[in-house]
């Protein structure tokens, strides 16, 4: 252990936030088929659209993107417009309410997300190349567990918000 590594449980837990901040920045590592910084930021919106429409038939709006990214609706609108201009998103009429406009991934958006997923895996494999297979898989398992807990907390919060409305 180096002198800069956390030594106590409190120091370790305090360091987690900084580590999460660094994760997104390191995803630009020069691995095979790198993602540009601009497309990396676009994947924030594309990932939300993909996650909420894929296999569920759910529809997602600019307002939902704003809520899920925890940004002002005008910021979300600019982000969505940028993705549309880049050819990654398509605006479409809602099949549930013709007055609403919903977002769908274009074929180019789906390809960017597939390339982004390959890039993420390559970066993970590159960063953990000298780790044991057990440690690599354990980190992957724990990250998925962490993200699953986030989704559970978010869904619980949404259910509580609906009750109080």
pLDDT digit string (tens) for the chain, length 165 residues: 445 676 788 888 888 887 877 776 565 566 666 778 788 889 999 999 998 887 667 889 999 999 989 999 999 999 999 999 999 999 999 888 878 899 999 999 999 999 988 888 888 888 899 999 999 999 999 999 998 898 788 777 666 666 766
In the prediction, which pLDDT does 99 show? 84
108's tokens:
């180019």
Collapsed DSSP state (helix, strand, coil) of residue 101: strand
Only one residue has tokens 């567990």, namely: 145
102's tokens:
């919903």
Within a 13 Å sphere around the CA of 134, how many CA atoms are in the beta-carbon half?
A: 0
Dihedrals φ, ψ of 138, to 5°?
A: -65, -40
Cα 153 to the center of its chain, rounded Å: 16
| DSSP letter assigned to residue 93 | E
Question: What's this model's pTM, rounded to 2 decimal places?
Answer: 0.76
Q: Other C-beta atoms within 10 Å of 112: how many? A: 22
């Amino acid at each position: 252990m180096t002198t800069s590594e956390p030594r106590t449980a409190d120091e370790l837990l305090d360091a987690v936030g900084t580590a999460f901040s660094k994760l997104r920045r390191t995803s630009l590592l020069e691995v095979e088929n790198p993602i540009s910084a601009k497309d990396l930021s676009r994947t924030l919106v594309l990932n939300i659209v993909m996650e909420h429409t894929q296999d569920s038939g759910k529809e997602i709006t600019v307002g939902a993107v704003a809520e899920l990214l925890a940004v002002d609706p005008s910021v979300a609108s600019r982000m969505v417009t940028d993705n549309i201009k880049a050819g990654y998103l398509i605006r479409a009429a809602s099949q549930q309410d013709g007055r609403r406009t919903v977002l769908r991934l274009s074929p180019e958006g789906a390809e960017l997300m597939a390339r982004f997923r390959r890039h993420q895996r390559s970066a993970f494999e590159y960063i953990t190349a000298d780790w044991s297979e057990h440690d690599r898989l354990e980190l992957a398992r724990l990250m998925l567990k962490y993200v699953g807990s986030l989704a559970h907390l978010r869904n619980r919060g949404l259910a509580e918000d609906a009750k109080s409305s």
